[in-house]
Structure 1
Amino acid sequence: MAWMAWTLPTAIFFCTIACLLVLFTVLAIKYPETPRMGVLRIETTRGDRLFITLLGSAFINLAWLGLVSAPQWGALIVCLVYAAAVFRWV
């Protein structure tokens, strides 16, 4: 896999995504999910909210790269706040 830029941040990113998927699978087995209605007025489960969080975080990071000249760590903080908001209110 020499054609890929496997740096430490890239490896941490993909390991984090894999760990989240495993964690949410275990949670779904141990504690069955019940859909809930949030501000989007659609029923969402934990997995739906994780997907919305990951998709939104990707767009936040792309916008940060294109519009802000600050380090990418700032985008991580924005993404964490966004994730907390999604899991709380969506």
Structure 2
Amino acid sequence: MDWMAWTWPTAIFFVVIAALLATMTIIAARRPETPRIGILRIETTRGDRLFISLLGSAFISLAWLGLFGPPLWGALIACLIYAAAVFRLV
């Protein structure tokens, strides 16, 4: 794996994504979901909302880097608020 630049932040990122997917799988097995209609007026499931929140968080982080630079703590807070709003309202 010398060809990749594995750093602790990179490893943490992939571990968090894997943990999210595992958690969503366990929740889906224990409590089957029914699609719901939120403010977007489309049927979404938990997996759809997770995907929307991850995709939006990527754009928030890129915008933060472009506007403010490398310390991403503010972007992390914005992403968490955005993900909470997506899971609650979408």
Fold-level similarity (TM above 0.5): yes
- Provide the TM-score with structure 1 as the length reference: 0.95
Inter-partner Cα distance in structure 1 for 2:21 and 2:69: 32
After superposing on structure 2, the runs of 4+ consecutive aligned residues of structure 1 that deviate more than 3 Å are none
- Provide the TM-score with structure 2 as the length reference: 0.95
**Cross-structure match for 1:20:** 20
Shift of 1:67: 1.2
**Cross-structure match for 1:74:** 74
**Cross-structure match for 2:29:** 29
SS in 1 for 2:84: helix
Matched, 1:59 2:59: yes
Q: Deviations over 1:28-82 (max 9, x none)?
A: 1110011110000001000000000000000111111111136111100000000
Number of aligned residue pairs: 90
Q: Deviations over 1:14-41 (max 9, x none)?
A: 0000010011011111100111100000
Task: Structure 1: give runs of 5+ residues left out of the alignment.
Answer: none
